[in-house]
Structure 1
Amino acid sequence: MNIDIGNALLDDATPGLRTDRLETLDEQVADAHERIADGRARDEFGYAALNLPETTDPDGIREACGDFEDSEAVLTVGIGGSALGAATITEAIGDGTAHYVLDNVDPAQTESVLAALDFTETAVHVVSRSGTTAETLSNFLLVREAMADDGVDWTERTIVTTGDSGPLRSLAETHNLPVLEVPAGVPGRFSALSTVGLVPAVITGCDIEALLAGGKSGAESLSPSLFDCPAYAYGAVAYALDQQGAGANVMMPYAEGLEAFAEWFAQLWAESLGKAGMGQTPVRALGATDQHSQLQLYRAGPRDKMVTLLRPARREPLTIPETDIEALEYLGGTDLGEVLDAEFEATEASLAEAGCPNVRIEFDRLDAHSLGRLLYDMEAACILAGELYGVDTFTQPAVEWGKRAARGLLGAKETEEAQAVTNKRTRRIE
């Protein structure tokens, strides 16, 4: 994987970075790398995520999934980091086995997903570290009811990933379900290359060994200098551009299979770095589609954004047929991937010409190894950025406040947060 930061430098972008600023930034990266390396060596909370390519046991995951590998579909029941990593992997490199996700509690969507599934041929993966996540457990209770309606013994089609205690763990032990451990010391949004993200990957035919090998190559590339480390270069430049006014980071992959990746990145970046009045706002986009819906704003709107353009260097060929329509003759015989690459390069040039800072990320092809490397590098970039911001990258206190408020409102127990919601000021206009 490589990163090109040329269009983020001051001569070409506003906001942008001065070349001499990179040298100072590199010194900060060296200090941050030392803290990260120490955290990894101690397997400290959060930093342990960067050890997953070595500590994740693919054989154990395959063994736990053994009874489900012939399933026609897999349903992940989780939320946030318990679902986004898995969805990213299967969407990008799955073999076509359908992967459904229940990661929200919208009744219409839940009913629609349940109605689409034949539970006699579906594996259900339930993910919650605590085993108490209200959204996840609510959906799982509905899934169990739907399985019963299909005449399916839910205990024969369910696999659980959870912590070492809690209601979900107790349920798994009571019913002798296959159960995997959520990795200790790894926040959910950093857990894609673990049991959390790899169960659906196995069931949908992904090469999880290659995914982990890609992650390992990312770990081996970490070094004290941003000039030698693509992950650190990305994290450092994103941080520095934010300091210059680029408070939004548009993640724009040019590969349909990476649309879920942009959603995964949004959680990683927002939940990790949005603290103490700091952090970039991640924006999800998809090339070339969003050239027609968002590029106008990025090029001609407020100068408060950096754009991350992401693509594989090689794609599967698909030739456009020849045509006798004179105005379209230039397309005939062209590979469709060439059209997408032309769109990519036109967008990059358009942004650069307008002085909008952008960064190019490229990898060889969209396969398991490259995806593992991409996921790992973005996690390392995020952790590096967190060190530069000086925030606690691995906590999410604002999210936890909302969880406590919701539980209180639902009657689990009275909470101060729920009372605050009850007492909130309103000014309703009808």
Structure 2
Amino acid sequence: MLSFTHSFSHSGDIEPLFESIKQERAQGISGYYELSFSKKALQDSQNYIKKHKELIAKLKNLVIIGVGGSSLGLKALDSMLCSLPERNAIKLRFLECTDGFALNNALKKVKTKNTLFIVISKSGSTIETSSLFKYVLERYELLAPKHKSHLLAITDTNSPLQKWCQKQKVAFVNIDSNVGGRFSVLSSVGILPLMLLGYKGKEILEGARELALRFFERKEDHILHKALYLVQNRERCPINVLFSYSSVFREFNAWYVQLWAESLGKLNAHKQPVGLTPIALVGSIDQHSFLQLIVQGPRDKSVTFLSLAPKHYPKPRIPQKKLEFLESSDFVNGASFATLLDKQCLATMQTLQAQKVPTDSIVMDRVCAHNAGALVMYYELLTSCAGCALEINTYDQPGVEFGKARLRDMF
């Protein structure tokens, strides 16, 4: 369960915004709206797992070849859920950067016999992904008949990558071409690898579906209010800070940055450049760095606090131990570390509110697959609402394509 609080006030009417989102969903402008209602990702994942039981039973490594939306969502959910007992003892590795040092470190001690390589790309032509894919094909001789079962592609229907797989007789799973990479984590892009790792894909999708249903039943209107507030106040507060008070959210922060930045930084319907800038922080670490800027620097930020309710995490605790000369810290003795972190979050939020910094909060009652799915859906819906309010195409990325064209001209 997620609980939300906010104190945003705005001058607009949320009804036109809600109607825009309803229309966007009905017109199928993005397929992500239906992912949590579809059984395709679950069925495709279950079919693959059933067909490759022998291979999966001996897996020690899962190597993901993909960049941006092909890796960040999966990384976010695994990082969030990895303490759950169902998590298999499989090391998840990512090849997402064309830095040779990162590449060598990621593949250290990887042997073909106990590894599954999954290349994730809508087309297969993303230069980082295709270059890394070529490298592992050669290094691990993955096209040798005895090794082909250690390779899987997740790609759009009838994509160039699918056609390559069909010709080479390599396994592949399709995703809807109408689902952009940064909105794809609830498709097979995220669900299949997560199920290989032992997570309950059905529960992730159920959590997302319940949040989506509540939103369209008008039981989560705070999402509309927040989006409208942020868009109306974008000149005064163009920066939104996600301040996550648990290390389990560190990679989720990175997913949020891509989702927010790539979706909302666009030319609007009037050809004006618009956007909202994301910044991701982790508490309490960044209380000792970035917080100073928020409190006494320019008042150009809104802050969202994401935290865990401490009641489910009574251990470990701070010992009832007194240290000579350090008695000033004894007031926390006996408290759980979760309680300390929660109080630090609350104290920081109250400090910002006293300084008139716009804030809101999301509290996750406990870490579980259901809540993780709900959190993903919350941010995807919020992004869509902000995009509609900005009058942009939330789902393209033409600015990224400009850079790709220039890179091609350099070779």
Q: Could you tell me the TM-score, scaled by structure 2's length? A: 0.89
Q: CA deviation at 1:56?
A: 4.3
Q: CA deviation at 1:329?
A: 3.6
Taking structure 1 as reference, are residues 228 and 5 closer, same or farther at Cα in structure 2, changes over 3 Å only?
A: same
Q: CA deviation at 1:194?
A: 0.5
Q: CA deviation at 1:205?
A: 1.3
1:262 matched residue in structure 2: 253
Residue by residue, what CA displacement relative to the aligned partner does 1:32-84 show, whole Å, maximum 9, x if unpaired? 22222223233x232x2111101242122122234254322211111111111
Which one-letter code corresponds to 2:355 in the other structure?
A: A
2:62 matched residue in structure 1: 74
Contact 1:120 1:152 in 2 (8 A): no
1:273 matched residue in structure 2: 264
SS across alignment from 2:16:
helix
1:418 matched residue in structure 2: none
1:320 matched residue in structure 2: 318
Contact 1:236 1:381 in 2 (8 A): no
Spell out the pairing of 1:215-364 with structure 2 (5 A cutoff). Answer: 215-223=208-216, 228-243=220-235, 245-276=236-267, 277-314=273-310, 315-316=312-313, 317-325=315-323, 327=327, 328-364=329-365
Spell out the pairing of 1:19-418 with structure 2 (5 A cutoff). Answer: 19=9, 21=10, 24-25=11-12, 27=13, 29-42=14-27, 44-46=28-30, 48-57=31-40, 58-66=42-50, 67=52, 69-70=56-57, 71-94=59-82, 95=87, 97-148=90-141, 153-223=146-216, 228-243=220-235, 245-276=236-267, 277-314=273-310, 315-316=312-313, 317-325=315-323, 327=327, 328-410=329-411
Taking structure 1 as reference, are residues 154 and 136 closer, same or farther at Cα in structure 2, changes over 3 Å only?
A: farther
SS across alignment from 1:179:
strand
Q: Which segment drifts farther, 97-106 or 57-66? A: 57-66
Q: Which segment drifts farther, 155-164 or 326-335? A: 326-335
Q: CA deviation at 1:338?
A: 0.6
SS across alignment from 1:242:
coil
5+ residue gaps, structure 2: 268-272
SS across alignment from 1:199:
helix
Q: CA deviation at 1:298?
A: 0.8
Q: CA deviation at 1:144?
A: 2.1
Count of residues in Structure 1 that have an aligned counterpart in Structure 2 = 389
Residue by residue, what CA displacement relative to the aligned partner does 1:17-38 show, whole Å, maximum 9, x if unpaired? xx4x3xx43x2x3212222222
Q: Which segment drifts farther, 176-185 or 76-85? A: 176-185
SS across alignment from 2:116:
strand
Which one-letter code corresponds to 1:289 in the other structure?
A: I
Taking structure 1 as reference, are residues 285 and 153 closer, same or farther at Cα in structure 2, changes over 3 Å only?
A: farther
Taking structure 1 as reference, are residues 101 and 220 closer, same or farther at Cα in structure 2, changes over 3 Å only?
A: same
Q: CA deviation at 1:153?
A: 4.6
2:270 matched residue in structure 1: none
Contact 1:230 1:377 in 2 (8 A): no
5+ residue gaps, structure 1: 9-18, 411-430
Alpha-carbon distance in structure 1 between the residues aligned to 2:182 and 2:137: 26
1:415 matched residue in structure 2: none
Q: Which runs of 4+ in 1 moved over 6 A?
A: none
Which one-letter code corresponds to 2:75 in the other structure?
A: A
Q: CA deviation at 1:363?
A: 2.3
Residue by residue, what CA displacement relative to the aligned partner does 1:204-226 show, whole Å, maximum 9, x if unpaired? 1111100000110111111486x
Identity of aligned residues (%): 27
Alpha-carbon distance in structure 2 between the residues aligned to 1:152 and 1:235: 52
Q: CA deviation at 1:378?
A: 0.6
RMSD, aligned α-carbons: 2.1
Q: Could you tell me the TM-score, scaled by structure 1's length? A: 0.85
Alpha-carbon distance in structure 2 between the residues aligned to 1:72 and 1:369: 26
Alpha-carbon distance in structure 2 between the residues aligned to 1:363 and 1:50: 22
